[in-house]
């Protein structure tokens, strides 16, 4: 892979379109990418990664599409500029161009607001100069698959081997085996080996679960055997747990013993049942004979008691017989008695009605006959007919009165309406002028509010600028003071370094003499004799002191540069704020802003009432029209109402003269008619009552005569005696039933006392029923217990036989499962590094990664030897880690000066850098070869050079420069100022308030 050109627009810190000519940069072999902190050096690398993989490196990648795309857009870019990255490169011998646009918002073409543009991707290929570029795809997925196949590595691998992050490799050197395993696993994609471990572990767990489940089922059968046999206390269950190899034989042996014990108990229970059956049969026969004797004795005794009771009830029987005979004679008198009672009731009712009617009649009519009362009733009815004719006139008079009342009510309502309308219309001119004045005031206030709004916003901006101006003036003075202090410290540090350097050069002879060894040639003159080596003088300065002073001087210079940038930024902001604020003070501008705000708020409040005033005026005008219309209608109704009232008065005068005669002494015609109707009704009722009394008196006399004759013929002295002897049908049936019951009881008792077996049983001693029953119940309980014991014993034997068969079946099923489990468990333990057969305790994935790490260490050593002048060698170690940690991923550095090997975590800062750089370069080679992808002609190294001394830096740069032998180019991302002098080809990133820009420098010229 070789990069040619990168175009960045509105991406990260870059607001405008920036072009990076990688052809010019890579032609030098080594180029430097530098700039101030936050300028966007890393964003250039992010753009390369985004163009290839549609995503930035993992450490800066956000989750979520919208959040990710929003993080890519530059905050400095104008709203109409699209975020876009375009990369031109050669990949797999093909010249390609990739264009990426993330999803982003843009202003709508019509109306206000924004709309979201979808993410876009474009892949083109350069064919020939004649045909030019040819579009290949616009699909994100197709482009990703095409680039992935040509590169042969994932985004994580690309970021690790092309964009070499030195901080990651420094942590890799100091990390433990677990952390190294995670990084190597991502780069070499050893997930399939981890998947093998997981699959074997899963199979082991599944097989173990099946074996444990089978053992649990077997123990469950054993528990059921223990419950069925009831022998848990005599012989306890096996002590093995699920998963133990000896569980199955122990359960089978235990089940066989329980089954044999149950068979013996069944035989014993069968013998006990035979004895209990014979004893129960004898007790049953004795109980039956005793019960029969007791029954006969009780039967004879009951017969005697019932005979005595019947004899005591004989007088009652004879009295009931006599009473029943008299009642049957009296039944012949019953019809005449009923007729006489009906006539008596009718006569009493008629007499009571006559008394009530006479009580309501006038005193002079109390003893009047029925014919005279009927004649008076007819006269009343004739008078009532004459009165009914006047009822229509009375109803019409009432209607006229109600209509006049309604006319009076309407007249009062119209008078109130006319008075209210006249009062309201009298104030109309003043009301209309008030509304018009409110409208004019609101319109003037709206104009005033617009003028004040145009003055208020600039005043607020000027006030904010004045406040910022005063604050920035203080900051500018402080930054000036800090800058002067930093410059003074830088001058002092530089003088100290130059003084120490000069003093060291003066004593360099003594420093060289300190390294002379007798018999070995001098590094300066080559002589093996050293007759008078120089001695260190007072205040001798060594290289460490000079390096420390130089580092302090460089740090002070960087502090001066930072202070200068800070001071320039503050001064620029101060000048902008002062220009905006003008010459006014903050207090003056605050007072002006407050006054304009109050006036604007008041004008806005008045202007807001304009619409309400217009609405109020329109409502008032509509109300005036409504009131005028209502006034005219009321005046017309008043005129019509006067004519109607006069007509009603005339009609009512004519009607009243006729009604005075029809009312009589009553208050109204209806009351007079009701009085006449009541009198006619009373007279009719009184006449009917007199006739009913005469009729019922004759019926009562006839009834007395017939009753006396019927009583004499039935044999009674008087009708009263016949009535006393009468009984109802229910009473007669009751007497008949009592007599029949006494006769039937007497016959039954006589039959029972005549039985010979009952009489003979009564002569014998009383039967001992309780003793016989107790003896039988004891024998019966013993029989039931023996039968239950036998059934239980037989059931246990049958259940134990079935459960033993189940246990044997479970054992047969467990055989293959346990064999499979043992085989899978051995494989899982071996791949997981827990088996005794695995001496190194290395997992399968660790074993594969260890082989890859060994290749990486060998590739890294080839460059590390040159960087360290042949001193250091990087070797892989598969020694076991302590505390149960993963083994096989150790890294050691062998120091050829001492011949000892030490862990990479003990390296110093500078040593860590060039060792990690060598490791990164070696890893890039191994990953590229492993992936079988495209050749990587461009690499980037991010930071770490500031920890090297001059000599080591030269050696590292020589190694990087040697990469050109393989037609590779290396881009170094660094802040180190010394690299700017050593590397002439540079890509500088400069930041400003309007966004960052890039510029190309080759050999001291700007490009």
> Is pLDDT above 80 for 88?
yes
pLDDT range class, residue 636, cuts 50, 70, 90? confident
> Is pLDDT above 50 for 1?
yes
Strand 969-973 vs strand 94-101: parallel, antiparallel, or unpaired? Answer: unpaired
Write down the pLDDT at residue 321: 80
Cα–Cα distance, 205 to 827 (Å, whole number):
12
Q: Is residue 35 within 8 Å of 990, Cβ to Cβ?
A: yes
> Is pLDDT above 70 for 523?
no
pLDDT range class, residue 63, cuts 50, 70, 90? very low
Instruction: Of 923, 749, 974, give the one whose Cα is nearest residue 168.
Output: 923
Q: What is the pLDDT of residues 388-418, one digit of tens each?
A: 666 666 677 777 778 878 878 888 887 888 7
> Is pLDDT above 80 for 978?
no
3-state SS, residue 761:
helix
Q: What is the pLDDT of residues 904-949, one digit of tens each?
A: 777 766 677 667 777 777 776 676 666 554 556 677 776 556 556 6
Write down the pLDDT at residue 65: 44
Q: What is the pLDDT of residues 419-439, one digit of tens each?
A: 888 888 888 888 888 888 888
Hey, how many other C-beta atoms are within 10 angstroms of the C-beta on 713? 10
Cα–Cα distance, 553 to 547 (Å, whole number):
10
Give phi and psi for 983, each to the nearest 5: -115, 110
Pick the more confident residue, 661 or 731.
Answer: 731
Output the CA torsion sign for 969, 971, 976, 981: positive
Q: What is the pLDDT of residues 305-321, one digit of tens each?
A: 877 787 787 788 778 78
Q: What is the pLDDT of residues 456-505, one digit of tens each?
A: 788 888 788 888 888 888 888 888 888 889 888 888 888 888 888 777 77
> Is pLDDT above 50 for 233?
no
> Is pLDDT above 70 for 162?
no
Per-position DSSP letters for 854-890, written without gaps between them? HHHHHHHHHHHHHHTTT-EEEEEE-PPPGGG---S-E
pLDDT range class, residue 19, cuts 50, 70, 90? very high
> Is pLDDT above 70 for 295?
yes
Mean pLDDT of the residues in the chain: 76
Query: Does the model's pTM come out above 0.85?
Result: no
Instruction: Of 974, 980, 930, give the one whose Cα is nearest residue 185.
Output: 930
Query: Per-residue pLDDT averaged across 873-896, rounded?
Result: 68
Torsion of CA 882, 886, 888, 890, to 10 degrees: -60
Q: What percent of the chain has pLDDT over 70?
A: 77
Query: Per-residue pLDDT averaged across 819-827, rounded?
Result: 74
Hey, how many other C-beta atoms are within 10 angstroms of the C-beta on 246? 10
Query: Per-residue pLDDT averaged across 110-135, rounded?
Result: 84
Cα–Cα distance, 744 to 19 (Å, whole number):
138
Q: Is residue 913 within 8 Å of 944, Cβ to Cβ?
A: yes
Q: Is residue 990 within 8 Å of 39, Cβ to Cβ?
A: yes
pLDDT range class, residue 100, cuts 50, 70, 90? very high
Pick the more confident residue, 812 or 949.
Answer: 812
> Is pLDDT above 60 for 883?
no
Q: Is residue 670 within 8 Å of 394, Cβ to Cβ?
A: yes
Write down the pLDDT at residue 124: 92
> Is pLDDT above 60 for 886?
no
> Is pLDDT above 80 for 836?
no
Instruction: Of 1, 71, 8, 68, give the one whose Cα is nearest residue 44.
Output: 8
Q: Is residue 497 within 8 Å of 546, Cβ to Cβ?
A: yes
Cβ-based burial of 186 (10 A; exposed 0-12, middle 13-18, buried ≥19)? middle
Write down the pLDDT at residue 659: 64
Q: What is the pLDDT of residues 108-121, one digit of tens each?
A: 777 777 788 888 99
**H or E segment to which residue 1006 belongs:** strand 1005-1006
**H or E segment to which residue 1000 belongs:** strand 997-1002
> Is pLDDT above 80 for 559?
yes
CB neighbours of 589 closer than 8 A, spacing ≥ 6?
459, 462, 463, 466, 581
Say which range, 79-88, 571-580, 963-972, has the weakest mean pLDDT. Answer: 963-972
Measured CA to CA in angstroms, residue 855 lies from 310, 403, 905 at distances of: 130, 123, 20
pLDDT range class, residue 66, cuts 50, 70, 90? very low
**H or E segment to which residue 31 belongs:** strand 30-35
Query: Per-residue pLDDT averaged across 10-17, rounded?
Result: 89
The 3-state secondary structure of 184-249 reads: HHHHHCCHHHHHHHHHHHHHHHHHHHHHHHHHHHHHHHHHHHHHHHCCCCCCCCCCCCCCCCCHHH
pLDDT range class, residue 242, cuts 50, 70, 90? low
């Amino acid at each position: 892979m070789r990069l040619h050109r990168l175009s960045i627009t509105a991406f990260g810190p870059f607001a405008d379109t920036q072009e990076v000519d990688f052809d010019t940069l890579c032609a030098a072999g080594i180029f430097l990418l530098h700039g101030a902190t936050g300028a966007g050096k890393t964003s250039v690398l992010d753009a390369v990664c985004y163009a290839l993989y549609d995503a930035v490196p993992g450490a800066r990648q956000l989750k979520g599409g919208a959040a990710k795309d929003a993080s890519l857009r530059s905050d400095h870019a104008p709203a109409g500029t699209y975020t876009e990255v375009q990369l031109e490169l050669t990949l797999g011998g093909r010249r390609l161009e990739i264009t990426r646009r993330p999803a982003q918002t843009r202003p709508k073409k019509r109306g206000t607001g924004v709309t979201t543009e979808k993410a876009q991707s474009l892949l083109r290929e350069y064919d020939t100069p004649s045909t030019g570029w040819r579009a290949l795809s616009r699909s994100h997925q197709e482009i990703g698959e095409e680039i992935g196949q040509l590169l042969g590595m994932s985004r994580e691998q690309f970021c690790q081997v092309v964009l070499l992050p030195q901080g990651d490799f420094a942590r890799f050197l100091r990390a433990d085996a677990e952390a190294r395993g995670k990084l190597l696993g991502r780069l070499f994609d050893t997930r399939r080996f981890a998947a093998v471990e997981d699959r074997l572990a899963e199979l082991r767990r599944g097989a173990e679960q099946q074996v444990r489940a089978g053992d649990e089922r077997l123990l469950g059968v054993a528990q059921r055997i223990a419950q069925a046999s009831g022998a848990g206390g005599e012989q306890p269950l096996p002590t093995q747990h699920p998963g133990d190899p000896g569980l199955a034989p122990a359960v089978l042996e235990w089940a066989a013993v329980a089954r044999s014990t149950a068979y013996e108990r069944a035989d014993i229970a069968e013998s006990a049942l035979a004895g209990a059956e014979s004893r129960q049969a004898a007790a049953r026969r004795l109980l039956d004979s005793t019960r029969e004797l007791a029954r006969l004795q009780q039967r004879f005794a009951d017969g005697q008691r019932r005979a005595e009771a019947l004899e005591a009830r004989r007088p009652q029987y004879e009295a009931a017989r006599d009473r029943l005979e008299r009642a049957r004679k009296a039944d012949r008198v019953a019809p005449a008695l009923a007729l006489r009672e009906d006539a008596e009731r009718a006569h009493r009712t008629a007499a009571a009605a006559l008394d009530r009617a006479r009580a309501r009649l006038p005193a002079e009519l109390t003893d009047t006959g029925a014919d005279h009362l009927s004649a008076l009733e007819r006269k009343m009815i004739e008078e009532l007919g004459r009165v009914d004719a006047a009822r229509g006139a009375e109803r019409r008079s009432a209607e006229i009165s109600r209509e006049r009342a309604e006319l009076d009510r309407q007249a009062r309502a119209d008078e109130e309406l006319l008075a209210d309308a006249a009062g309201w219309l009298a104030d109309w001119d003043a009301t209309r002028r008030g509304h018009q004045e409110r409208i004019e005031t609101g319109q003037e206030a709206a104009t005033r509010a617009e003028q004040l709004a145009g003055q208020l916003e600039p005043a607020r901006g000027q006030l904010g600028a004045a406040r910022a101006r005063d604050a920035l003036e203080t900051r500018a003075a402080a930054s000036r003071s800090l800058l002067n202090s930093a410059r003074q410290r830088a001058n002092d540090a530089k003088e100290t370094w130059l003084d120490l350097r000069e003093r060291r050069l003066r004593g360099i002879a003594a420093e060289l003499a300190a390294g002379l060894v007798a018999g070995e040639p001098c590094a300066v003159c080559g002589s093996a004799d050293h007759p008078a080596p120089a001695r260190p003088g007072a205040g001798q300065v060594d290289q460490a002191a000079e390096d420390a002073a130089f580092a302090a001087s460089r740090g002070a210079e960087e502090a001066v540069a930072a202070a200068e940038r800070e001071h320039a930024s503050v001064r620029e902001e101060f000048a902008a704020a002062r220009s905006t604020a003008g010459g006014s003070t903050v207090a003056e501008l605050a007072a002006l802003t407050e006054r304009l705000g109050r006036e604007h708020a008041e004008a806005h409040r008045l202007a807001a009432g304009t619409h309400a005033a217009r609405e109020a005026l329109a409502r008032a005008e509509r109300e005036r029209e409504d009131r005028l219309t209502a006034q005219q209608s009321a005046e017309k109704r008043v005129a019509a109402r006067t004519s109607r009232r006069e007509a009603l008065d005339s009609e009512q005068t004519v009607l009243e003269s006729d009604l005075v005669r029809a009312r009589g002494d009553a208050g109204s015609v209806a009351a007079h008619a009701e009085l006449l109707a009541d009198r006619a009704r009373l007279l009719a009722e009184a006449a009917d009552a007199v006739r009913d009394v005469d009729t019922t008196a004759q019926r009562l006399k006839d009834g007395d005569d017939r009753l006396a004759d019927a009583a004499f013929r039935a044999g009674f002295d008087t009708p009263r005696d016949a009535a006393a002897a009468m009984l109802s049908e229910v009473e007669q049936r009751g007497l008949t039933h009592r007599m029949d019951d006494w006769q039937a009881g007497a016959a039954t008792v006589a039959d029972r006392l005549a039985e010979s077996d009952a009489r003979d049983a009564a002569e014998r001693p009383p039967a001992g029923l309780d003793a016989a029953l107790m003896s039988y119940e004891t024998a019966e309980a013993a029989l039931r217990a023996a039968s239950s014991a036998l059934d239980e014993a037989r059931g246990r034997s049958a259940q134990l036989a079935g459960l033993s068969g189940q246990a044997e079946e479970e054992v047969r099923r467990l055989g293959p499962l346990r064999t499979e489990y043992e085989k899978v468990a051995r494989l899982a333990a071996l791949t997981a590094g827990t088996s005794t057969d695995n001496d190194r305790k290395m997992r399968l994935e660790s074993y594969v990664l260890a082989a890859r790490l060994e290749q990486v260490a060998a590739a890294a050593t080839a460059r590390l030897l040159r960087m360290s002048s042949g001193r250091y060698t990087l070797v892989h170690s598969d020694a076991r880690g302590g505390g149960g940690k993963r083994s096989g991923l150790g890294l050691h550095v062998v120091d050829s000066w001492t011949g000892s090997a030490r862990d990479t975590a003990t390296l110093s800062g500078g040593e860590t850098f060039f060792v990690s750089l060598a490791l990164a370069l070696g890893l890039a080679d191994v990953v590229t070869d492993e992936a079988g992808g495209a050749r990587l002609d461009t690499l980037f190294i991010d930071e770490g050079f500031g920890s090297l001394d001059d000599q080591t830096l030269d050696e590292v740069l020589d190694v990087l420069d040697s990469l050109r032998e393989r037609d590779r180019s290396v881009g170094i991302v660094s802040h180190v100022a010394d690299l700017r002098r050593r590397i002439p080809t540079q890509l500088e990133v400069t930041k400003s308030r309007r966004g960052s820009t890039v510029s190309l420098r080759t050999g001291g010229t700007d490009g």
